[in-house]
A and B are shown apart, each in its own frame.
Chain A
Amino acid sequence: MTTRTSTKIIIRKAANSLVTLFLVIIVNFVLFRMMPGNPVNVMVPSDPRIPSEYKQKIIDQYGLNDPMPVQFVRYIGDALTFDFGNSFSSINTPAMSLVLDNLRWTLVLVGTSSVLIIVIGMTIGILSAWKRGSFLDTGSMTFSLFFYAMPTFWFAMMLVVFFSTEWKVFPSDSALEYGTRFTFTLHSIGDLLKHLVLPVVSLTIGTIAEFVLIMRSSLIDVMTEDYIVTARAKGLTEMRVLRDHAVPNAMLPMVALIAITLAFVVGGVFQTEYVFNYPGIGWLTIEATYSLDYPVLQAAFFLIAVVVIFANFVADILMIYLDPRVRLS
């Protein structure tokens, strides 16, 4: 009985995700093609030095003179195969492969920070909800709100000011020493780690506040539930109440809020990469806005959308298994 309802819910969630994905493709198409004026002028770099044959080639390549419905159908095909054409600024490189190249660096950064954000953020959130009103709670709330209010890019700049300019402890530029490529040698790995410190600190501190605040309020909600009172009445120690009854239930909204948290992480990644010239997907996207490299911009936008929609879908599925109330309602 329950498995049938969960299958039904999963199918509905999957359908919703697909609709969202389809809408993103429409948004992508509309934004990049149907803007006022000639789409050719938008898609083709309007630099007079570019020979007209090249412009013609781009027009042919994207079929910009075909009727809109034809273009749209082809666009869906292209999007589903992740084919957004060649980058404007790196000639003869497909935009998507450029994005995927940079994505590896972003994953290194995000992976490291995520572990820190989850471990530290949850610990602080749980402690301050548990000791609500204590000195620790007030302290961590002040800390969280302060960093919540702080633009991540500015925090990153302050790190550069102190740690790489004043005290010269860590480098502040790029992900590796200038002109070197990553190899699996001790030197290269050490170099990478050294370059990773400040971006990771920036991303972690910049995003952790959101996490702490959500975790705290969710645990406070749970702590007022009747089953907590029951658990206490049974004579369980505070530690066991917290570990076995409060925290597992407080985790549920946390999973459901992956969407919002992820949006903040992506925002933080973009700002961090930009300040540190870290060659990830955020840095690439912002560079693409300067060089008006539309294929790269589209590819990055679409890839991020796909990843985020998928993560949300996974979170929804997890919720079905973690929270019986979702199945029953």
Chain B
Amino acid sequence: MTTTDESPLDTDIGAAPSSKGFLGLSESTIGRLRLTAKKSLNTWRIFRGNRIGMAGLGLLLTFFIMAIFASQVMWVLAQLAGWSTAYGPFDRVAVVGQGTPPSQAHWLGTDIWGYDILARTIYGSRVSLMVGIVASAVSMGLGTAVGLFSGYWGGWKDEVLMRITDVFLVLPWLVLMIVLATLLPGGPSVTKVVFVIGITGWSSTARMVRAQVMSTKQRAFIERARAVGAGDYYMVRKHIFPIVFPLVFANSILTVALSILSESTLSFINLGPNPTEVVTWGNMLEDAVSGHAILNGLYLWIIVPGMCIVLVVLGFTFVGYALDEIFNPKLRKR
């Protein structure tokens, strides 16, 4: 990585009055911000050159806009197509019981419950993305914490934590999720699904972080820091975490992809969020099965939500791989 070139952002921060502190921030904070900005900018430069990463980013931006502005998107489409109203995901716009093929009024047709498939697909992106991101954050947080402490402490604490990690690593994720989703108290809800996915997916992160911490611990600067009297907390926060973080970040984006797949699978087998309250692509597909979409020839009801899952997951996977290539020293071109 090049660190010598001056970025415009860099000079901006540098121009701020540094003696009194900018915006009331202390000088060291500004220095740190400056470094972070510089690093992110460098990462972005490398990322921009990665075609797959940029393709993934494009896909993700599309879906994020779709999710955040779902109702506005529907409104714009309604204006363009001349529909009387912008359909919502739970508006019955057709007769219940048969479903209709695509038409001017319903571009993707309606399902047998009389819902507009296009509207449900667009609104469905909300829960799918949200669950994916939050669940991934949960499992990343848990995995990083376990990995940091396990790798840093070593000894019997490490042994205990690793045996617990093994259980979650070894058990097939889908089976564990099915059992948890069935047995945990409370009805079906978004929170429960987030919890189930988060608690199932942290173990490989813990392993990765632990390995990274253990190799970092061997390095000379750690010994030096300890020699000048750095405490455990300081050591982990200042020296070990910053080294582990980029890897965790790249990995968390790949985990979002897996979490979204998990959510759709759970929703598909009826263990996802309550389908009468929220619409997700997974429970649209479940609806399609219980509504005999295949027999009724309503193929778009199956194809469209499925393709959305594929594209979003691909988006996160592409971006994750691109970041992994930047942050993971092992993967850099030799």
Which of A's residues lie within 8 Å of B, judged by CB? Answer: 16, 19-20, 23-24, 27, 31-32, 35-37, 42, 145-146, 148-151, 153-154, 157-158, 160-161, 165, 224, 259-260, 262-263, 266-267, 270-271, 274-275, 285-286, 289-290, 292, 297, 300-301, 304-305, 308-309, 312
User: In the complex, A301→B163 CA distance in Å?
Assistant: 19
Known: A266-B174, A308-B171. A154 touches B285 (CB 8 A): yes
CB pair B167 A24 closer than 8 Å: yes
Q: Does B95 contact A (CB under 8 A)?
A: no
Majority SS at the chain B contact face: helix
CB neighbours (8 Å) of B265 from chain A are 151, 153, 267, 271
User: In the complex, A26→B133 CA distance in Å?
Assistant: 30
Spot the interface stretch: B142-150, B237-245, B294-302. Answer: B294-302
User: In the complex, A271→B289 CA distance in Å?
Assistant: 13
Task: Name which residue of chain B comes closest to A20, CB basis.
Answer: B166
Contact among B180, B295, B318 with A31 in the assembled complex (CB-CB below 8 Å): B180
Interface size on B, residues (CB 8 A): 45
A-B contact count (CB 8 A): 128
CB pair B295 A165 closer than 8 Å: yes
CB pair A266 B163 closer than 8 Å: no
Q: Does B29 contact A (CB under 8 A)?
A: no
CB pair A19 B163 closer than 8 Å: yes
CB neighbours (8 Å) of A32 from chain B are 183
CB pair A304 B175 closer than 8 Å: yes
User: In the complex, A297→B265 CA distance in Å?
Assistant: 18
CB neighbours (8 Å) of A35 from chain B are 183-185
Known: A154-B309, A158-B302. A23 touches B269 (CB 8 A): no
User: In the complex, A32→B264 CA distance in Å?
Assistant: 25
* B331 CB → nearest A CB, Å: 8
CB pair B171 A305 closer than 8 Å: yes
Task: Name which residue of chain B comes closest to A300, CB basis.
Answer: B175
A149-B317, A267-B174, A308-B171 given. 6 additional CB < 8 A pairs?
A: A20-B163, A150-B310, A153-B265, A286-B269, A304-B171, A304-B175
CB pair B285 A153 closer than 8 Å: yes
CB pair A161 B299 closer than 8 Å: yes
* B162 CB → nearest A CB, Å: 9
Majority SS at the chain A contact face: helix
Residue in A27, A31, A157, A158 whose Cβ sees the most chain B Cβ within 10 Å: A157
Residue in A19, A160, A292 whose Cβ sees the most chain B Cβ within 10 Å: A19
User: In the complex, A150→B257 CA distance in Å?
Assistant: 10
Interface bits B161-172 vs A (CB < 8 Å: 1, else 0): 001101101111
Q: Does B79 contact A (CB under 8 A)?
A: no
User: In the complex, A300→B163 CA distance in Å?
Assistant: 22
CB pair B306 A149 closer than 8 Å: no
CB neighbours (8 Å) of B175 from chain A are 266-267, 270, 285, 300-301, 304
CB neighbours (8 Å) of A297 from chain B are 179, 182
CB pair B317 A148 closer than 8 Å: yes
User: In the complex, A103→B171 CA distance in Å?
Assistant: 17
Enumerate 20 A-B pairs (CB-CB under 8 Å) in ascending A order.
Answer: A19-B163, A24-B167, A35-B183, A35-B184, A145-B317, A148-B313, A149-B317, A153-B268, A153-B269, A154-B285, A157-B306, A160-B294, A161-B299, A224-B334, A263-B170, A263-B171, A290-B270, A292-B182, A305-B171, A308-B170
User: In the complex, A20→B166 CA distance in Å?
Assistant: 7
Task: Name which residue of chain A comes closest to B306, CB basis.
Answer: A154
* B150 CB → nearest A CB, Å: 15
Interface bits B279-321 vs A (CB < 8 Å: 1, else 0): 0000001001100001100010011001001110110011000
CB pair B185 A37 closer than 8 Å: yes
* B146 CB → nearest A CB, Å: 15
CB pair A16 B178 closer than 8 Å: no
Q: Does B54 contact A (CB under 8 A)?
A: no
Task: Name which residue of chain B comes closest to A259, CB basis.
Answer: B170
* B85 CB → nearest A CB, Å: 31
